[in-house]
Amino acid sequence: MNDSPGWAVPGPSPSDGERPGASDGRDGAEGGTPPPAGGPKWSAEQPPPGEWSSPGTPQAPKAPQQLPQPGAGWGSYGGPQGPQGGQWGKPPAAKPGVIPLRPLDLGEILDGAVATMRTHWRTVLPITLVVATVVQVISVLVQKYTYADLAVTSDPGSGDSLKEAFDALGGSMVALLANGFVQLIGTIVATAMLTMIFSRAVLGHGSSIGEAWREARPQLLRLLGLTLLLALGGIVIVLVPLLPGILLRSVGIAVAGGLAALPLLIWLALKFSLASPALMLEKSSVITSLRRSSRLVQGSWWRIFGITALTGLITAFVSAIIVWPLTAVGLAIGFADSGMEGLENGTAATGWAPLILSAVGAVIAQTITMPIQSGVTVLLYVDQRIRREALDLELARAAGLENYAPDAAAPPTGG
């Protein structure tokens, strides 16, 4: 079991209901033992508070309500009824931060990601806002000038139109690659810092932007190497099945090869999806983080796939309802300026108004969705380590919880 440096700092005291020595209601009246029964008008054994019988009528006391104890299985309470009139569910667990210290379900993972963004918004939102703004400003400039050049040089009546089109296309590819590299760097920086913020939020600790940067900076180059390695591997997996179709100049064979590569690409993407938090929180190397992700995902691929896919659908929906209206308004303004001719040659979509409005929508959407995606990935990593390596013991110790006892019915499994 690796001792993650991200959880090495002391934490706050336990949450309500988990403090050592908390009363469970079986000591009689509040504040101490009940008064002794002695008078002739009272029964020898008093019922619990709130259920007093008439004087002089002996009545056997009811069995005290059984609260969940450490070691009970999930959903079992050791008695015929759950607490508060038979409400069943998971037993309460220590929750020093945004998640309870036990295996998590889908709702708890999503809630933990949103709760972190809501609680620590002064740190989370500025990071994603700055990264999204820089990326979108560069993207607007690239689209404005490269796409405008393509539209201008695409005149079929010119004798050198083909040469000009290739030259413009080459310049556009260079600009697009530069824009993609800036997006890559921005995403890596944001992911690294958000990972550190979420790791501390699990313990109930806040992080400043400076603290998150200092903790993430030593691993940035390794995270860049990991990202480039995964991207290169994805390109190779896609290109190899496409080669026969490209060499034979057959669109059908190329499409079939691409479809054949898609399941393998998805499988490997999920297999190594936890490599980034493993690299950042365990301070490991690129290869070690890939191996760690493979081991943590093993046996839980479909569960991680479902949570990741649902998160992607949620963030895509949120982005769509923010970006599409602003994009539509921008296109309407571009059409009003250039008319039908602008729609035909593409200049209506490359005007300043549509580009800026689309970029504003993208900035807002990325500022909101980037923390959710990063948070779900980090919490999936924490959840898998709790299930396989009893990381909850380590987290409880780092949070300063005393007398913490994990669920004995769910022992950690090797993996």
- How far apart CA 81 and CA 330 sit, in angstroms, is 60
Name the average pLDDT for the chain.
76
- At residue 377, the pLDDT reads 96
- At residue 177, the pLDDT reads 77
- At residue 401, the pLDDT reads 84
> Distance from CA of residue 32 to its chain's centroid?
46
- At residue 331, the pLDDT reads 81
Cα-based angle 87, 395, 225 (whole degrees, multiple of 5): 120
- Contacts of 193 by beta carbon, 8 Å cutoff, 6+ apart: 127, 209, 212, 213, 216
pLDDT tens-digit map of 234-270: 999 999 988 888 888 888 888 898 898 999 999 999 9
- At residue 167, the pLDDT reads 56
pLDDT at 300 over 90: yes
pLDDT at 57 over 50: no
- At residue 5, the pLDDT reads 40
pLDDT at 33 over 90: no
Q: Which two structure tokens, joined as six digits, stand for 100?
A: 């309870």
pLDDT band at 230 (very low <50, low <70, confident <90, very high): very high
* CB-based contact 183:362 (threshold 8 Å): no
pLDDT at 50 over 50: no
pLDDT at 224 over 70: yes
Picking from 371, 60, 29, the residue whose alpha carbon sits closest to that of residue 187 is 371
104 vs 165, more confident: 104
The pLDDT of 213-241, averaged and rounded, is 94
- At residue 3, the pLDDT reads 43
pLDDT at 341 over 80: no
287 vs 415, more confident: 287
* CB-based contact 278:284 (threshold 8 Å): yes
Residue corresponding to tokens 């019915």: 409
pLDDT at 90 over 90: no
- At residue 47, the pLDDT reads 46
312 vs 28, more confident: 312
373 vs 400, more confident: 373
pLDDT tens-digit map of 310-328: 999 999 999 999 999 998 8
- At residue 149, the pLDDT reads 54
The pLDDT of 121-141, averaged and rounded, is 92
Picking from 24, 69, 60, 127, the residue whose alpha carbon sits closest to that of residue 375 is 127
pLDDT tens-digit map of 157-193: 444 555 555 555 555 676 677 777 888 898 999 999 9
